């Protein structure tokens, strides 16, 4: 790699942050952030064409290594790859500039559309437009999950092979069972998605790595005991909190530090940041994994917005050229718009807070732990666990959209629009065209029916 140093495992990737390079990084990623319609695959293809090879920022091998590890990490892979390439070119400062420049155009677009949405949401024509968009988003998510499921189920053994149209499906029965079970559990119980991912990974390891488990039975036993204790504490958390709450209240009343922490915890802006930080740390498998997290907490538990508003926010995120994770800016905008009694300036600040929280872990993963992830990725047991996690990810997405579809499918027309969107998306029609097409159908239905 032409810009690598030689001081250690981290420095071997890091470039020199000269002013010329930082301007080059900012210019390039603002450009991608503006023209990169088509999702992560388009972003990755553009970076590969422009930034790898003899005339690029690094060689092809380093680029592919970075891509492979970014695909293993939680978070939006194309954004993390951009951060990685900025790091390769301009060190830590280059990584920050690359990530910020990449997200800036999308952030501005989402904030502008958020303002338009909440300012004119009650206008009948706007309401009709989003009436048509809602089922389109459901169809798009289902189409993306279809492709993800095809890949996830083929990662294990080939227990069953069949063709659907021009696609070949190779299915591992265990992964298929995990995917199906996650759908059911998500629809019926709606657990924390992280618990579903962990359970699926453990099941896969226990069934497919039994020899390794027998050879490391003591270590497995210790970690198993820790896991059981942690699970019991989690399941009994309400009773534990009930016992601790009086003691905590006494501590709060007698300590200014505890009082400050309580004030911060009850602040919606702080809660927004912490939740997005948590979500950004666990959206393994791409930006769409955001959906089960948001559906469970933002819509159901926190009640920051309705299910239909969230689906509209996903549509706004899809209309921008950047990652769908930028939907978090829409959520932050809505929350602080509500608690500030309609202040647009505070709402924009909320969008920024949510964005920093959701994308912050991606910077930490690349800048702080990239060499460690490079080593972990080669571990066979970890790879086996990730097979189960990938299947559970698809199941969680599908389970969440079943719940969201209840708000979006209000009549036969919306169901038909979702089905048509699903079919067209699988045939390669761009999501932007489908969203505007759905909006046109909604407006036509408003004036004609």
Residues 330, 111: Cα–Cα separation, whole Å: 7
Give the model confidence (pLDDT) of 230-241 as tens digits: 777 766 766 776
pLDDT for the residue numbered 25: 96
Mean pLDDT of the 85-109 span: 94
User: What is the rounded CA–CA span in Å between residue 56 and residue 46?
Assistant: 12
Q: Give residue 410's pLDDT band: very low, low, confident or very high (50, 70, 90).
A: confident
CA distance 386 to 198: 9
Q: Are 325 and 287 in contact (CB under 8 A)?
A: yes
Average pLDDT, the chain: 86
DSSP secondary structure code for residue 430 in this structure: -
Q: How do residues 241-296 score in pLDDT, each as one tens digit? A: 667 666 666 655 565 665 666 666 677 888 899 999 999 998 876 778 888 998 89
* pLDDT of residue 298 exceeding 80: yes
C-alpha to C-alpha distances, 142 to 74, 147, 359, 421, nearest whole angstrom:
21, 9, 24, 9
Q: Are 426 and 121 in contact (CB under 8 A)?
A: no
**Residue 332, pLDDT above cutoff 60:** yes
Mean pLDDT of 86-97: 93
In this structure, of 32-46, 48-62, 126-140, 387-401, the range with the lowest mean pLDDT score is: 32-46
Q: What share of the chain has pLDDT > 70, as a percent?
A: 89
Q: How far apart are the first and last CA of the chain?
A: 62
pLDDT band at 76 (very low <50, low <70, confident <90, very high): confident
Q: Compute the distance between CA of residue 313 and CA of residue 345 in angstroms, rounded to an integer.
A: 19
Chain-centre distance for alpha carbon 109: 19
Closest listed residue to residue 302, CA positions, set 262, 326, 274, 280: 274
Question: At 75, is the pLDDT very low, low, confident or very high (cuts 50, 70, 90)?
Answer: confident
Vertex 282: Cα angle to 277 and 287 (nearest 5): 90
- Banded pLDDT at 37 (limits 50, 70, 90): confident
DSSP annotation string for 312-365: HHHHHHHHSSS-GGGHHHHHHHHHHHHHTTS-HHHHHHHHHHHHHHHHHHHHHH
pLDDT of residue 237: 63
Residue appearing with tokens 């159901």: 300
User: Higher-confidence residue: 38 or 186?
Assistant: 186
Least confident of 67-76, 340-349, 428-437: 67-76
Q: Tens of pLDDT along 123-171?
A: 888 889 999 999 999 999 999 899 899 999 998 899 999 998 888 999 9
How far apart CA 358 and CA 373 sit, in angstroms, is: 20
Angle 337-331-365 from CA coordinates, rounded to 5°: 130
Q: What residues does each domain of the chain span?
A: 19-106, 108-448
**What mean pLDDT do residues 36-49 have?**
84
pLDDT in tens, 161-219: 999 888 899 999 999 999 999 999 999 988 889 889 989 999 999 999 888 888 888 88
User: Region 8-20: what's the mean pLDDT?
Assistant: 68
pLDDT of residue 370: 78
pLDDT at 2: 41
Closest to 248 in 3D by CA, of 238, 236, 259, 264: 259
Q: What is the phi-psi region of residue 154: left when phi exceeds 0, alpha when psi lies from -120 to 50, beta otherwise?
A: alpha
Tell me which of 142-146, 261-265, 323-327, 389-393 is least confident.
Answer: 261-265
* 241 vs 104, higher pLDDT: 104
Q: Which two tokens stand for residue 268?
A: 């919606």
> Which pLDDT score, from 0 to 100, does residue 367 have?
87
Q: Give the confidence band of 55 by pLDDT, cuts at 50, 70, 90.
A: confident
What is the token pair recorded at 154?
């083929």
The residue whose two tokens read 């872990």 is 361
Compute the average pLDDT of residues 348-359.
Answer: 95
The token pair at 59 is: 């060689």
Token pair for 244:
């601790």
Quote the percentage of the chain above a pLDDT of 90.
Answer: 49
pLDDT for residue 15 is more than 60: yes
CA gap 434, 439 in Å, rounded: 9
β-sheet bridge partners, residue 167: 164
Cα-Cα-Cα-Cα dihedral sign, residues 239, 240, 243, 245: negative
pLDDT at 4 over 60: no
CB-CB contact of 193 with 289 (8 Å): yes
CA distance 137 to 143: 10
Radius of gyration over every alpha carbon of the chain, rounded to an integer in angstroms: 23
- Please give the angle made by the CA atoms of 393, 398 and 402, to the nearest 5 degrees: 145
393 phi/psi in degrees, rounded to 5? -60, -50
| pLDDT for the residue numbered 7 | 41
Q: Report the pLDDT value the prediction gives residue 256, as an integer from 0 to 100.
A: 61
Exposure class string for 313-324: b at 16+ Cβ within 10 A, else e: bbbbbbbbbbbb
- Two tokens, residue 36: 């990169």
pLDDT, average across residues 7-25: 74
pLDDT of residue 10 exceeding 60, the answer is: no
Which pTM was predicted?
0.84
């Amino acid at each position: 790699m032409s810009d690598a140093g030689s001081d250690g495992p981290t420095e071997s990737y890091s470039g020199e942050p000269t002013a010329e390079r930082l301007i080059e990084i900012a210019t390039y990623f603002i450009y991608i952030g503006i023209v990169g319609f088509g999702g992560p695959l388009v972003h990755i293809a553009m970076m590969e064409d422009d930034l790898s090879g003899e005339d690029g920022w690094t060689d092809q091998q380093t680029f592919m290594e970075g891509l492979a590890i970014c695909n293993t990490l939680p978070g939006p892979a194309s954004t993390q790859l951009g951060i990685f390439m900025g790091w390769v070119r301009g060190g830590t400062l280059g990584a920050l500039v690359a990530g910020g420049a990449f997200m800036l155009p999308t952030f501005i677009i989402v904030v502008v559309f958020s303002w338009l949405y909440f300012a004119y949401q009650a206008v009948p024509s706007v309401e009709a437009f989003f009436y048509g968009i809602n089922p389109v988003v459901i169809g798009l998510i289902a189409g993306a999950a279809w492709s993800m499921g095809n890949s996830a189920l083929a990662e294990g053994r080939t227990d069953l092979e069949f063709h659907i149209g021009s696609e070949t499906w190779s299915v591992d029965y265990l992964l298929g069972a995990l995917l199906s079970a996650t759908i059911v559990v998500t629809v019926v119980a709606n657990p924390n998605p992280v618990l579903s991912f962990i359970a699926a990974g453990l099941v896969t390891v226990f069934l497919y790595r039994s020899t390794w488990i027998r050879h490391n039975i003591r270590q497995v036993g210790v970690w198993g005991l820790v896991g059981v204790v942690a699970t019991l504490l989690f399941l009994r958390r309400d009773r534990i909190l009930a016992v601790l709450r009086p003691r905590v209240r006494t501590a709060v009343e007698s300590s200014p530090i505890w009082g400050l922490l309580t004030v911060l915890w009850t602040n919606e802006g702080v809660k927004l940041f912490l939740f997005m930080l948590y979500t950004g740390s666990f959206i393994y498998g791409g930006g769409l994994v955001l959906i089960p997290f948001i559906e469970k907490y933002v819509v159901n538990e926190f009640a920051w917005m309705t299910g239909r508003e969230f689906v509209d926010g996903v549509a706004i995120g899809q209309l921008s050229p950047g990652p769908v994770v930028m939907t978090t800016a829409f959520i932050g905008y809505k929350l602080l718009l509500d608690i500030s009694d309609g202040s647009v300036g505070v709402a924009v600040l909320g969008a920024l807070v949510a964005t920093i929280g959701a994308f912050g872990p991606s910077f930490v993963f690349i800048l702080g732990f990239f060499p460690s992830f490079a080593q972990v990725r080669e571990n066979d047991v970890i790879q086996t666990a990730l097979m189960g996690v990938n299947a559970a990810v698809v199941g969680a997405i599908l389970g969440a959209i079943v719940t969201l579809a209840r708000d979006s499918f209000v009549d036969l027309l919306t169901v038909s629009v979702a089905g048509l969107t699903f079919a067209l998306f699988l045939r390669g029609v761009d999501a932007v065209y489908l969203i505007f097409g759905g909006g046109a159908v909604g407006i036509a239905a408003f004036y004609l029916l």
